[in-house]
Amino acid sequence: MPMFHRTSPSTGPGSPRVEGFYDAATGSIQYVAIDEATGTCALIDVVQDFDPGSARRSFDSAKEILEFVRGEGLTVAWVLDTHPHADHLMASAWLREETGAPNAIGDKVVEIAGLWSDIYNLPDTFDPARDFDRLFADGETFRLGGLEVQVMLSPGHTLGSVTYVIGDAAFVHDTFMHVDSGTSRADFPGGTSRELWHSLQAILALPDETRLFIGHDYPPVGDREDPAWEATVARHRAHNKHIGGDVTEAEFLRLRDGRDATLPLPDRMLHALQVNLRGGRLPEPEADGHSYFKIPANKF
């Protein structure tokens, strides 16, 4: 079945058209950000399909997105991820091979790799400089066709999450949820609710009309049955369930920490991090030609 898909049109020169594709299995939204003037695009946070029960992977979702891109006559300029995801395996390495486009992530992934090397007891295993073509620093800029992309460090969910700001579109990953759902969890290794608060405030300092594109949605929510992933800065600032209006930092930390204490680990997390810290590659095959996951017991 094709993924649920929605278009956010360009608002004019300097503004990208954004295509969002919803992965129901993980609640993830995958994006194609398009510079219509040049026909170039960036693929952002595309999912590698994975069945945690059988540990079997596929690339059906990524193939569907590439079919869309090719049908539109677009050229892929970048394969981008906002952070090493805990709830899905990234398709970065596969997309780089399929498109020839460079893949990239924030440079603090190096610190995240060090942290998870200890958790997995896999020293000298993860090497982000090997598996990503670019590691972006906070404040760095690069080009998507005729559009400038600015990188904002947005820690909290992870210590190295980054937001990509392209004109009036900001890809804010696991910071905000949709307006009626609130914000994302901050209890994974390296994450903190206080850093998340400050990241949220920095995003809310963007111009009111900036379109914020989030990383996840889990409908149904209230009367809403369909997934939703776009709202303006002004709307989040006024109405976001966790942070809108005059919510104080202390109130937010109390709410966020209290909710996080009730949440289980994502069912793909311990598989995902050892793949995503390799840019989406499975662990190196062993003598029998198969890759094997290493899952730590009693650490969480």
Residue with tokens 């896999």: 122
pLDDT digits (tens, 9 = 90+) for 175-225: 999 999 999 999 999 999 999 999 999 999 999 999 999 999 999 999 999
Report the distance separating Cα 248 and Cα 175, nearest Å.
Answer: 17
Query: How far apart, in whole angstroms, are the C-alpha atoms of residue 166 and residue 211?
Result: 10
pLDDT at 1 over 80: no
Q: What is the pLDDT of residue 157?
A: 97
Report how far apart, in Å, the C-alpha atoms of 126 and of each of 130, 136, 148, 275, 282 are.
Answer: 9, 17, 30, 9, 12
| Average pLDDT value for residue range 261-277 | 96
Q: Going by C-beta distance under 8 Å and a sequence separation of 6 or more, which residues neighbour residue 252? A: 183, 193, 197, 242, 243
How, if at all, do strands 169-173 and 211-214 pair? Answer: parallel
Q: What is the DSSP letter of 197?
A: H
Amino acid at 13: P
Residue 263 DSSP class? P
Do the Cβ atoms of 40 and 152 come closer than 8 Å?
Answer: no
Q: For residue 224, how many other CB atoms are within 10 A of its CB? A: 13
Calculate mean pLDDT across residues 76-96: 97
Mean per-residue pLDDT, 232-240: 98
Average pLDDT for the chain:
97
Q: Which residues is 50 bridged to in the sheet?
A: 57
pTM above 0.85, yes or no: yes
Q: Is the pLDDT of residue 2 over 90?
A: no
Please state, in angstroms and rounded to a whole number, the distance separating the CA atoms of residues 88 and 284. 19
At position 136, the amino acid (one-letter code) is: F
Q: How many CA atoms lie within 13 A of 94 on its CB side?
A: 22
pLDDT value of residue 20:
98
Q: In which element (H, E) is residue 41 found?
A: strand 40-44
Rg (CA), the chain: 18
Domains, in order of start, for the chain: 4-273 (3.60.15.10)
At 87, the amino acid letter reads D
